[in-house]
């Protein structure tokens, strides 16, 4: 008999992983990688085998920053072939606006106008890549949008530039006739001392100040809400109530630590249960319809086989929690008490 908790895209499971998550070779700020870099085409094969539905990426997860146009086209072609061979989709794409030294003081909020212009140009190319791969959601995680000291820049200037860049990108996407949604991801700190728009709540307000707010929503991450001890369930609930949950980053985190990106369900089991219950809509409210994306990183102690066990563990934990949530909401004793 098949295991009911095995993920299966054929029976409607919509699990996705980022190239940067399963492809993370275990490097951290204190040491280099501990396992080989898995090529993107092999990641596609591995994810399909594990029962995932899709794979997400940053521009530079696939195409190195300094690749020539010919190299880029070749890499994209190989990747598309792997997607076709293994039946995987790319529902979300994002742009790396945080690794290159040019973004050390921000991308859309950099004080230098030339850096902001470069960031917008890079985001346009990232969006073009996403469209080419069939993505319908574009995530923006502004990891460098912040400061170590507020003497560097008044946050009101930073926010104004942030808005200007997003307004431009939304208008450009509309002009191209693309039906895309932007999902903005908040984080309180790391790598900046303080990142602007620290929580999903901050982001939801900021979105209401954008010119094309209808195409902008949020991408809450468990770890980013839990780092400062906030409730992911309430962040997601507020986003869903506002019709703004456009994407989600599932993982786990202990309160007060650096961004741990642990395996989904490995910490705060009760929080994970209520989150899944909310996403699955067994509690009488509508379910979240988008992909269940894991922004979880295999531990540094794992080898390549361990990476796939880790990915399977994320999906299995989600499915077990979904079954428990359904049972909870169908239990006459629970209903009676509620
Ligand atoms: C980076 C970050 C994640 C974001 C990714 C999308 S990049 O790994 O830590 O939370 O979701 O840009
Ligand atoms: Mn994330
Ligand atoms: Mn994270």
Q: Report the distance separating Cα 221 and Cα 183, nearest Å.
A: 11
Between the CA of 110 and the centroid of ligand 1 the distance, in Å, is 19
Residue range 48-64: average pLDDT?
98
Q: Which residues contact 270 (CB under 8 A, 6 or more apart)?
A: none
Other CB atoms within 10 Å distance of the CB of residue 161: 20
Closest residue CA from atom 7 of ligand 1: 141
188-202 residue pLDDT tens: 999 999 999 999 999
Decide: 5 and 13 in contact? Cβ < 8 Å: no
Name residue 250's beta-bridge partners: 294
DSSP 287: P
Pairing of strands 194-195, 146-147: antiparallel
Between the CA of 251 and the centroid of ligand 3 the distance, in Å, is 8
Residue 2's pLDDT band, with cuts at 50, 70 and 90, is confident
Decide: 302 and 35 in contact? Cβ < 8 Å: yes
Q: Which contacts qualify for 279-283: CB closer than 8 Å, 24 or more apart?
A: 279/236, 279/248, 280/322, 280/325, 280/326, 282/322, 282/325, 282/326, 282/328, 282/329, 282/330, 283/325, 283/329
Pocket of ligand 1 (CB under 6 A): 20, 58, 94, 139, 141, 185, 221, 249, 259, 295
| Unique residue bearing structure tokens 């809400």 | 225
| Unique residue bearing structure tokens 């954008």 | 210
The mean predicted confidence, pLDDT, of the chain is: 98
Between the CA of 250 and the centroid of ligand 2 the distance, in Å, is 8
Which of 16, 17, 18, 140 most suits a substitution to test ligand 1, by most atoms within 8 Å of the C-beta? 18
The alpha carbon dihedral of 314, 317, 323, 326 has a sign of negative
Q: Report the distance separating Cα 315 and Cα 251, nearest Å.
A: 11
Catalytic annotation, pick one of 59, 61, 259, 295: 61
Q: Report the distance separating Cα 10 and Cα 268, nearest Å.
A: 30
Catalytic annotation, pick one of 6, 10, 28, 58: 58
Percent of the chain with pLDDT over 70: 100
Read off the tokens for 214.
């209808």
233-290 residue pLDDT tens: 999 999 999 999 999 999 999 999 999 999 999 999 999 999 999 999 999 999 999 9
Which of 144, 185, 186 most suits a substitution to test ligand 1, by most atoms within 8 Å of the C-beta? 185
Task: Say if residue 232's pLDDT is above 80.
Answer: yes
What is the maximum span of the chain, computed from C-alpha positions, in angstroms? 64
Which of 295, 296, 297, 298 most suits a substitution to test ligand 1, by most atoms within 8 Å of the C-beta? 295
Read off the tokens for 22.
């399963």
Residue range 308-320: average pLDDT?
98
Residue 117's pLDDT band, with cuts at 50, 70 and 90, is very high
Residue range 22-33: average pLDDT?
97
| CA-derived radius of gyration, the chain | 20
**Within the chain, how many helices (H) and strands (E) appear?**
12, 10
Nearest atom (ligand 1) to Cα of 187: 10
Between the CA of 225 and the centroid of ligand 3 the distance, in Å, is 9
Pairing of strands 54-58, 146-147: unpaired
Read off the tokens for 53.
């539905």
Residue range 67-78: average pLDDT?
98
Task: Say if residue 1's pLDDT is above 80.
Answer: no
58 is catalytic: yes
pTM of the model: 0.97
Residue 5's pLDDT band, with cuts at 50, 70 and 90, is very high
Percent of the chain with pLDDT over 90: 99
Concatenated DSSP letters for 222-242? Answer: HHHHHTTT--HHHHHHHHHHT
Residue range 306-330: average pLDDT?
98
Decide: 224 and 184 in contact? Cβ < 8 Å: no
pLDDT of residue 295: 98
CA-nearest of 235, 225, 241 to 295 is: 225
Tell me which ligand sits closest to the C-alpha of residue 260: 3
Between the CA of 141 and the centroid of ligand 3 the distance, in Å, is 10
């Amino acid at each position: 008999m098949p295991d009911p908790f095995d993920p299966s895209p054929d029976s409607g499971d919509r699990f996705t992983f980022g190239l940067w998550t399963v492809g993370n070779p275990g490097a951290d700020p204190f040491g280099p990688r501990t396992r080989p870099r898995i090529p993107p085409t092999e990641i596609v094969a591995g994810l399909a085998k594990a029962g995932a539905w899709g794979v997400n990426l940053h521009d530079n997860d696939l195409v190195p920053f300094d690749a020539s146009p010919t190299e880029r086209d070749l890499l994209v072609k190989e990747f598309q072939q792997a997607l076709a061979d293994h039946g995987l989709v790319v529902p979300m794409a994002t742009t790396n606006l945080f690794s290159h030294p040019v973004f050390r003081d921000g991308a859309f909020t950099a004080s230098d106008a030339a850096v902001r212009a470069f960031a917008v140009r890079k985001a346009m190319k990232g969006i073009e890549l996403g469209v080419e791969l069939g993505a319908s959601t574009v995530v923006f995680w502004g990891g460098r949008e912040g400061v170590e000291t507020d003497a560097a820049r008044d946050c009101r200037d930073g926010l104004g530039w942030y808005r200007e860049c997003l307004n431009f990108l939304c208008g450009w996407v509309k002009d191209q006739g693309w039906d895309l949604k932007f999902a903005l991801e908040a984080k309180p700190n790391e790598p900046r001392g303080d990142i602007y728009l620290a929580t999903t709540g901050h982001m939801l307000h900021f979105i209401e100040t954008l010119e094309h707010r209808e195409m902008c929503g949020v991408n809450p991450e468990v770890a980013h809400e839990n780092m400062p001890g906030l409730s992911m369930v309430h962040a997601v609930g507020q986003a869903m109530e506002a019709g703004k949950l456009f994407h989600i980053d599932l993982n786990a985190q202990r309160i007060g630590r650096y961004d741990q990106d642990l395996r989904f369900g490995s910490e705060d089991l009760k929080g994970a249960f209520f989150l899944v219950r909310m996403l699955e809509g067994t509690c009488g409210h509508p379910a979240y319809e988008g992909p269940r994306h894991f922004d979880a990183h295999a531990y540094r102690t794992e080898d390549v086989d361990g990476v796939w066990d880790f990915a399977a563990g994320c999906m299995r934990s989600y499915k077990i929690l979904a079954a428990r949530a359904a049972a909870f909401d169908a239990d006459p004793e629970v209903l009676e008490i509620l």
